[in-house]
Amino acid sequence: MYNHSTLQSLLYTVKKTFLNIALVMFMTILLVQCAKRGNPTGGPVDEEPPIILRAYPDNYSVNFNAQEIEITFDEYVKLQDLQKQLVVSPPLKNRPIVTPQGSASKKITITITDTLAPNTTYTLNFGQSIVDNNESNPYPFFRYVFSTGTYIDSLQLKGKITDAFNYKADDFVNVLLYKMDEEYTDSLVFKGPPLYVLNTLDSLKTFTMENLAAGEYRLVGIKENNSDLKFNPRTDKIGYVTKAVKVPSDEVYELKMYQPELDASVKKITHEGKTKLYVAYTGKLDSLNVVSQEKDLFTKTRITKLEKTDTLQFWFQPVIEKDSIFLDLNYKDFEDFKKVTIKKLFSDSLIVTKQRDLSLTGPLVLTASTPIDAFDLSKFKVMDKDSVAIEFDARLDALKNELTIDFEKDEVQRYNIEVLPGAIIDFYGETTDTLAFNGTTRSTADYGNMEITLLSGTQWPAIVQIVKEDLTVINEQIAVDNGVYAFENLSPGSYLIRVIYDTNANGRYDTGNFLKGLQPETVVYLPELITLQANWDVRETVILK
């Protein structure tokens, strides 16, 4: 047995040992925490999409008559870009109300405010608008499908989106199906709504329309701004299959999207100079007849075009001393009239400038601040660096207001172009003083060359173009047969090769016309982007239809 003193000594030892152990543990924890200073990692990043636990009524329900749908997830979710992503097919007059928006929840509620059609399969395609609250991982392309009848329509239609003229196809294209029955007319594309709709979102340029009923349909694609499922020719691109499409079908249909060419029209006319009007237009106006409703108001007129804009310049004489005038406008099938407010403005003066630097292949192009009316070739001189005169030609493009001076050029050579007084006369009778332009050509080693071979072509003529990535045309040739077409002295860079089937032989690409059932002219690109280096020759083959 322990006596009282021994027991006290034992308790004191145990207590001291316990305190020592506690002190050691505290110091260890403190040291560990000091070693781990910094922000906590929070564990591995969540990369998993949310999971649907249940839907009520069940997805793919038949005999559907509910007004509310509840979707429950395993974690908090939120709605992102819902207005753009959610597509209801067939369209409802009033979009379903989806909540919550702007906050996170484990449950999404869909309230249907329209009367549903009988015996109809509906699809609510959420795209990638449902994301988890933490990392915004999307639930990919969630579709809620139900039928107000006894079965779910289960047929499909496959297709692809291409662009008629551009290298890359658009995303977020609405694909529309219209039932071709006794009530169908082409005007439905402008009025809506379609029977079925799908949006390609920003995924691959192929699509599958699901849960369709058997029948014949008109298949149309619209790249639109306001998502009203109606075609607006002024703002929207369109693509369509000319013939009726049948469901079911194993065919993969192509929607070749294009921007329609608008009918010619004048939007507005503004007074921009003392004797100059700006005419803003749509469509194709290669010229325009402008006549004052007041007889003999103009003694002389001229039309020029502003570069890279749909604007014509109307020049006139004499100065108008009125507050406003009325003009009759016509060109081919186009007719209109406009009132123009006249302001107090300054006159334009004749200033001639060089449009771009001299190159081995391009001519010297001069332009003026007022319309060039005439030029005197005897008052132009083209000389090389040794003052040897060079033969040249000159021509005036009246619409563009460009005077082109063309001559044969050698590499690494300096040329001087002298313009003597009176060489250029403008619309108002003003003439130029002495002008001088010069430029130096580069070595052919600074450029690259392309040799393009066309094979298997049967449709001629074709326009062969070298274009930049932004589709700016660098050079082009008209091809009338299979063979080799050489493009020399191109600046180094990245290029695409484009071939346009010029069906109507007018020297340019022509778009389609939906109401006339005309598809745009066919355009073919060589698939690869070509990198052209200085002093290199590139040879490519394009196999045509």
Mean of the pLDDT values across residues 117-141?
91
pLDDT at 14 over 80: no
Residues 6+ apart with CB under 8 A from 15: none
Alpha-carbon distance of 257 to 273, in angstroms, equals: 40
Alpha-carbon distance of 106 to 132, in angstroms, equals: 9
From the list 289, 287, 427, the residue with the least C-alpha distance to 371 is 427
Residue 337: per-residue pLDDT: 94
Alpha-carbon distance of 328 to 321, in angstroms, equals: 19
pLDDT at 11 over 80: no
Write a three-state SS string for 90-111: CCCCCCCEEECCCCCEEEEEEE
Alpha-carbon distance of 126 to 143, in angstroms, equals: 6
The confidence band for 37, taking pLDDT boundaries of 50, 70 and 90, is very low
Q: Is there a cis peptide before residue 527, judged by omega within 30 degrees of 0?
A: no
pLDDT at 17 over 70: no
Mean of the pLDDT values across residues 133-156?
93
pLDDT at 441 over 50: yes
pLDDT at 102 over 90: no
More confident residue, 24 or 225: 225
Alpha-carbon distance of 289 to 335, in angstroms, equals: 9
The confidence band for 228, taking pLDDT boundaries of 50, 70 and 90, is confident
Q: How far is CA 391 from CA 299, 360, 386, 461, 516, in A?
A: 38, 16, 15, 33, 51
Please list the residues that pair with 541 across neighbouring strands. Answer: 453
Residue 180: per-residue pLDDT: 95
Task: Look over the chain and give the mean of its residue pLDDT values, rounded to a whole number.
Answer: 90
Most confident of 20-29, 86-95, 319-328: 319-328
Mean of the pLDDT values across residues 455-477?
96
- For the stretch 183-206, pLDDT in tens is 899 999 999 889 999 988 876 789
Core vs surface per residue 186-197: b (16+ CB within 10 A) or e: eebbeeebbbbb
**What is the model's pTM?**
0.80
Do 164 and 524 touch, CB atoms closer than 8 A?
Answer: no
pLDDT at 3 over 80: no
The confidence band for 286, taking pLDDT boundaries of 50, 70 and 90, is confident
pLDDT at 1 over 70: no
Alpha-carbon distance of 264 to 329, in angstroms, equals: 11
**CA distance from start to end of the chain:** 112
58 CB-side CA count, 13 A? 5
Ramachandran angles phi, psi of 231, nearest 5°:
-85, 120
Alpha-carbon distance of 508 to 463, in angstroms, equals: 8
Mean of the pLDDT values across residues 430-436?
96
Residue 25: per-residue pLDDT: 55
Q: What is the DSSP letter of 117?
A: P
Lowest mean pLDDT across 41-55, 75-89, 385-399, 486-500: 41-55
Domains of the chain as residue ranges with CATH? 52-147 (2.60.40.1220), 155-257 (2.60.40.10), 265-341 (2.60.40.10), 352-442 (2.60.40.1220), 445-543 (2.60.40.1120)
Alpha-carbon distance of 115 to 465, in angstroms, equals: 54
Alpha-carbon distance of 160 to 170, in angstroms, equals: 11
More confident residue, 225 or 476: 476
Residues 6+ apart with CB under 8 A from 154: 210, 211
